[in-house]
Amino acid sequence: MIIGLTGSIGMGKSATAAMLRDEGIPVHDSDASVHLLYRGAAIPAIARHFPAAIVDGIVDRARLGPEVLGKPERMTLLESIIHPLVGQARQDFINNNLAAGRSIMVVDIPLLFEIGGEKDVDIVLVTSAPDDIQERRVLARTGMTREKFLAIRARQVPNAEKCRRAHRVIDTSIGFGSAQLQVRAFLRSIAAFR
């Protein structure tokens, strides 16, 4: 069973992924894959198209952001470089876990609906919180501005739509203790149907 974990920026997806790991479920983190690619396999293509983003031989995310945010054609170009590489890393993760006899695994994909990835998973798990909590969490991040936050959120499927399309929603607004209980209840519910 492959669980697709997603949620808009600031909705507690990374914390929920950590909770799933704590429960013994293997999790593939797409964001972590991108970080690795920016230090390895993606460098040549990004250097070719976004040379200002390369610092000391690796991709500097702080310099790459202004190259693509608010520039749809440039963002599409970046995604055409990164998405296939992340997809291959995700497939390798799935294959390795199947070979190891794992019956449940999670693929943490921030843009699951945006890339049509819901068709490749058995269950979609969405993390959610009210808009004001989301904004407060995101704006507390180092280097984040309201303009940048709004630009990121504008590219994502709206939270209400994600929740509507999910098999299960984890509400992270009450606190992560509550979210942990929801994660455990979710895992019990899927175990009952296996």
**How does pLDDT run across 109-130, given as a tens digit for each residue?**
999 999 899 999 999 999 999 9
User: Model's pTM, two decimal places?
Assistant: 0.88
| Helix pair angle (146-154, 131-139), 10° resolution | 130
Q: What is the pLDDT of residues 44-92, one digit of tens each?
A: 999 999 999 999 999 999 999 999 988 989 999 999 999 999 999 999 9
* Domains of the chain, first to last: 1-11+112-187 (3.40.50.300), 27-101 (3.40.50.300)
Helix (H, G, I), strand (E, B) or coil at 7: coil
